[in-house]
Structure 1
């Protein structure tokens, strides 16, 4: 459905370009000495009708696009709920979205994606992380919860503090924390941003960033 929305956007732009060009052509014709006043008046009336019809068409396309986007979000949400029941939320929705989001928001190529990292230390301590993406300049660590709460944000801060103890091979790069969930309440999102985390939830393209525009995540 995302491809359908893109095609509708392209169609709307084509219509706008056509109307704009028609206006230019009309102005040229209107100012021409070679046309009779009656012809110009008729052409002007036809253009008015055409522009009214195009306005209705654009409104209908906008409504259709909004409905398509709503259906897409609803489908992704249901898929997320099913994945959560199956215990595959990370694999089905979050992990496939991480490289795209990291490249878009951090301008970093994601060349190494690992899911369900688990390591045991010689002293018997065990730690598991949901997903990890390595870029040339940072490490992006993900924690995914079906329902994200403020306590999960605090827990992720503690996880990050322990990460390099379990994975010292990533000591050289700064770390970016990414929290993901099916949906995020505003107060939890605000709290997560204060801690410096990117926050993801179900959107048009599986998962989408919920942080405010221009938000820059903390490098740990």
Structure 2
């Protein structure tokens, strides 16, 4: 297809496509003339991922380039999903959390490590999400609103159930680019949907208690 057709199919303006080509985010098409090229479905798929990363994920061009490089080198589900998950901003922060080393022992770091061990979750201490949770617990403690260990574990088990549902949406997708695109949708769009469902459930529970119900 011509670049104009590629634009119509993906909803990405021609000017943006040319910019992505110049930045090396999108591979060049097959040259058919001095100034013309043909593009295929792989270009449309790549553009959808770029659009998801920059629009839904809010990533910069440089960060998007890094994610695309990681996805291209990924082997299987873990690599593709990990590349996206680690690149997107960590909840509660404005940008991805750098993770040069393990979370320090003591305080909230030890609490998170103990929680992960109790849950038997296979998560490295270098994960930006471990650091993000550690920072969140520290802030809760500063506000004197921290969760007791048992309460935190209960929330973690609910999160585990949601994670299983998330991964079920990726069953049968073997292509790393398609997996990465699905991961962006799940992490950037489905997460807010889940949070809104949680808030609606809270509204329901409050009204039940006010009306004299037992909240069940």
When normalised by structure 2's length, the TM-score is 0.29
Structure with higher Rg: it is 1
More helix by share: 2
The one of the two structures with greater contact order (alpha-carbon pairs below 8 A, sep at least 6) is 2
More strand by share: 1
